[in-house]
Chains A and B, each alone.
Chain A
Amino acid sequence: MDINDSVEGAKFRTEVREFVAANLPADIKRKVDGGLRLEKDDYVRWQRVLFDKGWIAPGWPTEFGGTGWEPLQRHIFEEECALGSAPAVISFGVNMVAPVIIEFGNDAQKEKYLPRILSSEDWWCQGYSEPGSGSDLASLQCKAVRDGDDYIVTGQKTWTTLAQYADMIFCLVRTDNSGKKQQGISFLLIDMKSPGITVRPIRTFDGSAEINEVHLEDVRVPVENLVGEEHMGWTYAKFLLGHERVGIAQVARSKKQMQRLKMIANTELVDGEPLLSQPEFAAKIADVEIGLIALEMTELRILSDESAGKAPGPESSILKIRGTEIQQGITELLIEAIGYDAHPWVPAAAIDGRNEPPIGSDYAASIAPHYFNWRKASIYGGSNEIQKNIIAKMVLGL
């Protein structure tokens, strides 16, 4: 056993670090460092940099344009990208729909969609949740009825992240109502420009506009857009949920936020002394940091097992629960750190180049909205309650 990077690992780490430093556009780095809002174009520009380098799809097999890296190598890559202030790659295409297409799609689908995902030509969004079906996803009602060479899709999806940017949506739809609720679900790829689709923004209470309702009214979807077999969508969705290990814990991004927290706590003064030197605050930071170390080590054990060929299991729920708790814990300490400076609401300050003079410190404006917004992390992607149910049932057998 050895806790350090291998010689190749260390070399690779340096390579990624230098690449990010040399190729991440300065304006994007500034936005990420300052917690400012990223626009669609910012994500796409960075994704294209990674695409040109051949690094956009670490999780894919090489034959489709992936890197073929081992899980531990992917971990190093994610970490160096985050520490170098690169924005996250938007998951919906590369990490969510693509693995399903690769595993269960036909050749025509692979040829059509995978290259456009790699090049960021298509922006994907995820159409799972519905107003009546959140935690109980399998109860979904959006229905697809076969009509000649088409499905006619009618229903509503909701909470759809960044659907306003999307060219394509992958949807779970109901194709059969007769059996168990998990059985009549199919996995459809739908063009967002199809007649009958309306996207309505849902504003969140932190002020952002990142989620949407997607209404589908008699939308014609060619049968060739069905992935795998009809009625088998639930199996594919579960495959996807169990597929993603690397990144779910967001260890690297939390490390980066932890650095920021310490910088800020070192700048804020309590009676002339840095907040960071106050024993109570230092202890609270230490608590979160120790949790982060435990999370990272747990993730590394899981990834190491995976590299050794062990099939991934429901342990990813551990990573989701603790990962989001730690992200939220850091946002909580950030808002505590800045005291009254968290009170002013200065939406324009979240936009790069607005030159709105800051109120208080220049890092203050985004901190409270960030804390508010980040409450979502324990709700989306299977709430933390549902993740605990999974551990209780699937791992512990209760």
Chain B
Amino acid sequence: MDLRLSQEQEMIRDGVTRFVRDDYEFATRRIGAVSDLGFREEVWQQFADLGWLGAALPEEYGGFGGSAIETMILMEAFGRGLVLEPYLWSVVLGGALLQQGATSAHKEQVLPEISSGKARIAFAFAEPGSRFNLAHIGMTAKKDGDGYRLNGNKTVVYYAASAEYLIGSARLGGAKTDREGIALFLLPSDAKGITRRDYATQDDQRASEIIFKDVQVDAAALFKCGDDALPVIENAIDVATAAICADAVGAMGALREMTLEYLKTRKQFGRAIGEFQVLQHRMAEMFILEEEARSMALRAALMLDAPAPARKKAVSAAKSLIARAGRQIGQEAVQMHGGMGMTHELSVGHYFKRLTMIGSMFGDGDFHRKRFAAL
């Protein structure tokens, strides 16, 4: 066993940490947050130039062949800065789906565009009423001539408006929640028959409701996993879940730092409020939770290549703990800031919102606790 970062990994960590600290201050971040796109295109290009978009993608497709640890390092730093650019969605989730289930033609076409920053992917998986069940798919794919016709609704599709490609899950056969009969399709996001309703999310990200109405795709749009795509989806969502756990750990670290600083500087009753033992214990508990979360995010990343049951169990253990820890840390940070914690001006509340959204992303604490217990 070896839990140390390699030299290359340390270099990535130092670089991304510096970037978030110096070039992604809260005020600068706002420029992206209030823009139509929801983030800054030039920052995305910077990610490409720094090699981050390809950090965990295979070398044969223009990447650097890194592992889930590279992803974890980047995501933790992004979490620390509440980075808005859709790295998770396009690179981590989109990349995992393509790598694991797509045809070589798709990989050769799209992966280099992803790692160079030319194109982005969004994955449309959730549907109205699906909650966290990835097999709950009502969208249909009907054979039509040489290709397929897609019909259905997808909900809260993150960063669809800024993506060139959409990957959609649809049913070739079976009933609404069957594990079989599910297929994945890659299509241009402006395909005829797609309508979107775009909006901001609670934490300044962007998402859309998407209606697919008689969307025609040719046969080549189908992923090579055919109508047995659920394992590919589950694997990719696990990869993304491990990444968002690291994202959460970064946000927790930022909250811990600023709350600690506040306890040292805010004075009431003639002394720093950090001198009150009750707040010291609360701060200590926050720190313990963060360290547990960091351990679990690391473990999830290291287990992503394990056989499916072990992988799922590790990811669910991490996400369940992190959903709970994120909630407690967020609440405590706001509480210990008093009235200041409630303001829109301070970043505390924004981290709180981000951790809340992460809490239910890809399954909330209860969902993952249940999945963990069942494995």
Contacts and interface: CB of A to CB of B under 8 A. Distances in A.
Do A and B assemble together?
A: yes
A343 interface: yes
Nearest to A385: B278
**Most A Cβ at <10 Å: residue of B269, B278, B279, B344:** B344
A360 B155 contact: yes
B132 interface: yes
A379 B131 contact: no
Interface stretch (B3-11, B85-93, B289-297, B334-342): B334-342
A88 B322 CA distance: 37
B268 A343 contact: no
B264 interface: no
A328 to B, nearest CB: 8
A388 B341 CA distance: 20
Contacts of A339: 131-132, 360, 364
Which of A205, A206, A268 has the most chain B CB within a 10 Å cutoff? A205
Contacts of B267: 132
A147 B131 CA distance: 67
Interface in A321-346: 332, 335-336, 339-346
A167 to B, nearest CB: 24
Majority secondary structure of chain B interface residues (helix, strand, loop or mixed): mixed
Given A134-B268, A135-B269, A385-B279, A343 B345 contact: no
A158 B339 contact: yes
A203 interface: yes
B334 A135 contact: no
Contact of A379 (B156, B339, B344): B339
A379 B335 contact: yes
Interface residue range, chain A: 35 or more
Contacts of B211: none
A206 B278 CA distance: 27
B177 A136 contact: no
A199 interface: no
Nearest to A270: B131
A336 B366 CA distance: 9
Interface in A343-398: 343-346, 359-360, 368-369, 371-372, 375-376, 378-380, 383-385, 388
Contacts of A379: 334-335, 338-339, 341-342
B356 A269 contact: no
B202 A343 contact: yes
A359 to B, nearest CB: 6
Contacts of A89: none
Contacts of A269: 129, 131
Interface string B260-289: 000000011110010010110000000000
A39 B268 CA distance: 35
A107 interface: no
Contacts of B200: 344-345
Contacts of B344: 202-205, 207
B132 A375 contact: no
Contacts of B356: 335, 342, 368, 371-372
A340 B156 contact: yes
A372 B353 contact: yes
Nearest to A384: B335
Nearest to B127: A340
Contacts of A385: 276, 278-279
A281 B267 CA distance: 41
Nearest to A138: B269
Interface string B149-170: 0000001100000000000000
A375 B353 contact: no
Given A281-B366, A375-B331, A343 B357 contact: yes
B255 interface: no
A221 to B, nearest CB: 25
A332 B278 CA distance: 24
B214 to A, nearest CB: 22
30 contacts: A134-B339, A135-B268, A136-B268, A136-B270, A203-B343, A206-B349, A269-B131, A271-B136, A271-B177, A280-B369, A280-B370, A336-B360, A339-B364, A340-B126, A340-B156, A341-B156, A343-B201, A344-B199, A345-B199, A345-B202, A346-B199, A360-B128, A369-B202, A375-B341, A375-B342, A379-B334, A383-B335, A384-B335, A385-B276, A385-B279
